[in-house]
Amino acid sequence: MRITGGMVKGRRLAKIKGSNIRPTSDMVRGSIFNILGHTLNGLAVLDLFAGTGSLGIESLSRGAKKALFVDKSSKALAIIKRNLTMCGYEALSIITREELPNGLARIQGLGCGQFDLVFIDPPYGKGYIEPTIYKLIERDLLAEDSRVVVESAGNEDNPTPSKIHSLELRLTRSYGSTLIGLYAHQGER
């Protein structure tokens, strides 16, 4: 697993062996960032169900100003910390252990402000995507022109609804059994 672009392109990331954490593959991650654009200068990023932290770290490599990593697994948080250290992004990052989506109430209390880009990559088939987006909106964690990228299994029932509260599904891409959805606020491009 490597960073696919930006300042630390090619850097290998540590992963958790023998765990049920399913890191986003290099190909899928590269495709996500091709959709988002190669530079993410000045964006605040929230990486939910962060696993190895690859999506948030990729964002930092491509110019994001800060990233908050959230996972409930202490093993995942240790790997994220290790990967941030290897890439030199500790000063731009906060790592916190929370059960999602309810833990977003405590995220709001960290004083990180709103986020321009949010990644939601939950365990497949557990129904976390919609409740997580609702909590993000309820807690006012999304910037006005934010984008939300969700990863799900393509075989889930309605994995990417066309609208969730004020967010509209702008595009979907399928990569094998993985489905990527990009949401943005109504009226935004």
The full set of domain ranges for the chain reads 36-185
Q: What percent of the chain has pLDDT over 70?
A: 92
Here the tokens at position 54 are: 């690859």
* Mean pLDDT to the nearest integer, 87-104: 95
pLDDT of residue 148: 97
Here the tokens at position 111 are: 């004083």
Here the tokens at position 125 are: 């088939």
Q: Band of the pLDDT at 164, cuts 50, 70, 90?
A: confident
For residues 12 and 4, what is the distance between their CA atoms, to the nearest angstrom? Answer: 10
pTM of the model: 0.92
pLDDT of residue 16: 76
Q: Dihedrals φ, ψ of 79, to 5°?
A: -70, -40
pLDDT tens readout for residues 97-138: 999 999 999 988 888 899 999 999 998 888 899 999 999 999
H-helix segments, the chain: 26-36, 54-61, 74-87, 104-108, 129-138
pLDDT of residue 43: 96
Contact 58, 4 (CB under 8 A): yes
Asked if the peptide bond before residue 131 counts as cis, ω within 30 degrees of 0, the response is no
Q: Band of the pLDDT at 21, cuts 50, 70, 90?
A: low
CATH C-level class of 36-185: alpha beta
